Amino acid sequence: MSDSSMWPQLGYGLGLRTEHYSDVLEGRTTDVDWFEVISENFMDSGGRPLRILEAVRRDRPVALHGVGLSIGSSDALNERYLEQLDSLAKRIEPALITDHLCWTGTGGRGLYDLLPLPYTEEVLEYVASRVRRVQDRLGRRILLENASTYLEWSATQMPESEFLAELSRRADCGILLDVNNVYVSCTNHGLDAQRYIDAIPAERVGQIHLAGFTDMGSYLFDTHSAPVCDEVWSLYRRAVARLGESSTLVEWDDDIPSLERLTQELDRARGEATRARESRDEDEKEDGDVGTHDAP
């Protein structure tokens, strides 16, 4: 079970997108427990976006989700970036600050993608030291998300799930478990997605992402442009059964549907999570009953 004292339980949330600003500001999002925003969209800017974010934050929790930390890069950590992120965090007081287990550039050049790392002991220690520095700078734990991947390094020595699990322990950070990304990456690399979920330490998971992908024929592409598929719902139930309650977000960033359609997807997540917990509780009760009968 996840440690509720370590992570806030936010409920079921959506990404805050400009398409929904008026719905949010005019109070038509009461079914959304919390919002996630892309940190970088608000780090440089003042003006209307920041005023809207502050208005949203007055009503409910917000998570800052970054794409530019580049925690695995061989470049030094970007102190200006950390200063801006810290400043935004002080202003918004987010429930969670998250980014990705990846690198996004090197030699000062941004590559505008979330690129995978070679999962080796040396990289593990390197990334853990950088996570600790970021957390010291921000004065709080961050959560790192498993990104969708399409390539693996030949130097890799351990599964991504094992790397992420050990990283969370060494750096004392959290995990944002993107169940869709688990499915996309494992399918692309011929790996067992259930085994991946089972290898993640429950107490470290502070948030779950759900999303839809595009089947490109020879691989799955993480497009966030479709409903959550049945296989990912199944993995989500497995994750919830292990983790218990965990803040869950439905990501939909391309071909964004109406707010009504998005809240339907959120309602399904609520229902799937409830069923997963009830099923787990029944299994545990049956195990307990069997234990009672077998006792001498």
Q: Which one among 209, 233, 248, 269 touches Fe ion, defined by CB under 5 A?
A: 209
**In 3D, which of 20, 31, 100, 70 has the Cα closest to residue 263?**
31
- Nearest residue (CB) to Fe ion, 90 versus 229: 229
Stretch that binds Fe ion, among 71-79, 201-209, 215-223, 274-282 (CB under 5 A): 201-209
- Nearest residue (CB) to Fe ion, 209 versus 237: 209
99 binds Fe ion (CB under 5 A): no
Instruction: Give the residue ranges of DSSP H helices in the chain.
Output: 21-25, 40-43, 47-59, 79-92, 121-138, 160-171, 179-189, 193-199, 230-243, 259-294
Instruction: Name residue 67's amino acid.
Output: V
57 binds Fe ion (CB under 5 A): no
Q: How far is CA 145 from CA 121, 159, 172, 210, in A?
A: 19, 15, 14, 12
- What are the backbone angles phi and psi of residue 205, rounded to the nearest 5°? -85, 115
Stretch that binds Fe ion, among 17-25, 80-88, 128-136, 205-213 (CB under 5 A): 205-213
Instruction: Name residue 142's amino acid.
Output: I
Q: Which two tokens stand for residue 8?
A: 């806030």
Q: How far is the CB of 146 from Fe ion (least distance, A)?
A: 8
Q: How far is the CB of 215 from Fe ion (least distance, A)?
A: 18
- Nearest residue (CB) to Fe ion, 2 versus 248: 248
Q: Which two tokens stand for residue 237?
A: 């139930």
- Nearest residue (CB) to Fe ion, 128 versus 208: 208
Beta-bridge partners for 98 = 65, 143
**Chain residues 150-189 in contact with Fe ion, contact rule CB under 5 A:** 178
- Nearest residue (CB) to Fe ion, 62 versus 133: 62
36 binds Fe ion (CB under 5 A): no
State the residue number with the nearest CB to Fe ion.
Answer: 209
Instruction: Name residue 98's amino acid.
Output: T
- Residues in touch with Fe ion (CB under 5 A): 178, 209
